[in-house]
Chains A and B, each alone.
Chain A
Amino acid sequence: MNTSTVGSRTYPQVSSLPMSDALISARALTKKFGDFVAVDGIDFEVRQGEAFGFLGPNGAGKTSTMRMIGAVSPITEGDLTVLGLDPMTQGPQLRSRLGVVPQENNLDEELTVFDNLMMYGRYFDLSRAAIRERIAELLAFVQLEDKRDAKISALSGGMKRRVIIARGLINEPDMFILDEPTTGLDPQARHVLWDRLYRLKQQGVTLIITTHYMDEAEQLCDRLVVMDKGKIVAEGSPLSLIAQHTPRDVVELRFPVGVLETVGDHVAGLSDRTEILADRALVYTDDADKTIAVISESTLEPETVLARRSTLEDVFLRLTGRTLVD
């Protein structure tokens, strides 16, 4: 795999910038649809060059937040500054500096990859020659050079997602906003995308990513907020969130059908913190080996016992009492 870079621009280093140079700063940001509060007074800051994540289940308010940042949805209450601009009054100026990968695929299926990208570049008033050059670069970057003249309708889901990523980068954006970039893709296609996004991050592009996959957040995000029901329930780096909110290890126990319901009290006695889910029981512990030893000496007869490290999934479960992907 060659290391193609996107464009020749250099991005300033993260560490050299003081906190006040936040690319996004949101204060009490609120979005209502009628009486329904989709985003409930959230505060956050995103700094130059970082990969910032919004992790949360369906309906948490991630897309609503992204759309306010992207200046395509009016802010109901609160303050929001993006790249030093006000999305409400400087929308066109702001959007010309953003790259966006929307949650849904909205390429023109009738047109070719090239035409889609050319058309999009022209919205930014770039010259045809410049766009043509850029398309060659970007198709190399997303590894779709051989699909340049293919119709979108003939591409796989993962390929369409990569075309959308190329489209979002056509204007060399100062910030790249991705709303669930890999939802619905198979594991291999997801890894290809992660690899491309990781490269962008290496080049200093500021990434804003929403996801409800904790592994995606762990892979890509320097810092993230966990959202639930319109609110931010935790904030930090993936590691610090795990360290802060959950013991190091988890022992997962599976029981034969019908047994799980009857062993609740016994499992709860194994540790300070346990969770009984629909299909398994989780025992949080700082020493998995010791916990497994205790279980094997007890009267419990789980079908399988699995020890693993705690993940963001466990953080989310801890904070909200629910799983991320249901």
Chain B
Amino acid sequence: MATPLPLRVFEAEARTYRRTWRGSVFTSFLSPVLYLLAMGVGLGSLVDANLPAGLENVPYLTFLAPGLLVATAMQTGAGEGSWKVMGGIKWTQTWKARLASPIGTTSLVIGHMLWSAARVLMVSAIFAFMMAAFRVAPLLQSLAAVGPALLVGVAMVAITTAFTVRLEDPTGLAMFFRFVVIPMFLFSGVFFPITNLPGWLQPVAVVTPLYHAVELARATVVGTTPAVAWWVSVLYLSALILAGTVLAMAPIRRKLTP
């Protein structure tokens, strides 16, 4: 039976990754350790000294870890949807090369989404194992939090891809990271509950995809009750995945098959 076209794209990405994985794997293991150490242990001891009851009744490290997990997934997704896409279209033009084969633009985009999802999954799973290794949470709960991580990671791939394919040069990407990705990382409830934000900022935080993933992951690991019903968050993130993917299609067709 013929291999579905998107899976052929997936395989090509995996083959490329196999040749270039070393740097990224190191980061995948190291960055959770550094974050957990610096934020959780260092900052955590200060927070815990001031809040004897803890945040959500758990030590700060436990409060923080699930948020950092999904935030890492979010950043991985943003990376896969930005530099990678810009490269495929503009720099190396490997996406254009692919289109001379039976692969068409739809398969190209779906294959890209599938491979990026696999990348998010890898990074999140490693993070979850590190959480368990540092005894932040039991392994099963940590692994369960990979679910929301995957959702927000792939949602970010879709949104970022839809954005990147509309750019003519990479300056817009630097802006995107500075004014979207980093603020989202800081103010979506990863480091402190969004109820501590100024009132006018809270609704902004609530519409970020990361906020929903943080709520879901924290519910899984810490046992908190999310402020938004879990299924609303799941639906919202799924809708973002769909919307981003669909919105990426037309510019890709216009650019690669004019």
Contact = CB atoms under 8 A, between A and B. Distances in A.
A33 B258 contact: yes
B5 interface: yes
Interface string B25-41: 00000000000000000
Interface string B1-42: 011010010011001100110000000000000000000000
B96 to A, nearest CB: 6
Interface string A96-121: 10101010101111111001001110
Most buried by A among B5, B99, B100: B100
B92 interface: yes
A72 B19 contact: no
A110 B96 contact: no
Contacts of A12: none
Given A92-B104, A110-B19, A120-B101, A73 B258 contact: yes
Contacts, number: 70
Given A106-B92, A108-B94, A125-B3, A118 B100 contact: no
Nearest to B95: A106
A49 interface: no
A95 B257 contact: no
Nearest to A177: B100
Contacts of A92: 5, 102-104
B100 A95 contact: yes
Contacts of A91: 104
A122 B99 contact: no
B98 interface: yes
Contacts of A74: 257
Contacts of A72: 99-100, 256-257
Contacts of A95: 100-102
Contact of B101 (A73, A106, A109, A123): A123
A110 B100 contact: no
A57 interface: no
Interface residues of B, number: 25
Nearest to A97: B102
A122 B11 CA distance: 8
B235 interface: no
B94 to A, nearest CB: 5
A73 to B, nearest CB: 6
Contacts of B15: 111, 115, 118-119, 122
Most buried by A among B94, B99, B101, B256: B101
A158 interface: no
Contact of B97 (A93, A106, A112, A122): A106
A123 B257 contact: no
Contacts of B11: 122
B93 interface: yes
A155 to B, nearest CB: 15
A102 B97 contact: yes
Given A111-B16, A115-B19, A119-B12, A96 B257 contact: no
Nearest to A74: B257
A119 B16 CA distance: 9
Contacts of B12: 119, 122-123
A124 interface: yes
Interface in B60-78: none
Contacts of A112: 19
Contacts of A107: 97
A123 B94 contact: no
B254 to A, nearest CB: 11
A56 interface: no
B20 A110 contact: yes
A70 interface: yes
Interface in B208-258: 256-258
A96 B102 contact: yes
Contacts of A123: 8, 12, 98, 101-103
A96 B5 CA distance: 12
Nearest to B1: A125
21 contacts: A72-B100, A73-B257, A91-B104, A95-B101, A95-B102, A102-B96, A106-B97, A108-B16, A108-B97, A110-B92, A111-B15, A111-B19, A115-B15, A115-B19, A118-B15, A120-B97, A122-B8, A122-B11, A123-B8, A123-B12, A125-B8
Interface of A: 33, 70, 72-74, 91-93, 95-96, 98, 100, 102, 104, 106-112, 115, 118-120, 122-125, 171
Given A102-B97, A110-B19, 6 more contacts: A73-B257, A104-B93, A106-B97, A108-B97, A112-B19, A115-B15
Interface of B: 2-3, 5, 8, 11-12, 15-16, 19-20, 92-94, 96-104, 256-258
Which A-B residue pairs are the 8 nearest by beta carbons? A123-B101, A106-B93, A106-B97, A92-B102, A100-B100, A96-B102, A119-B12, A125-B3
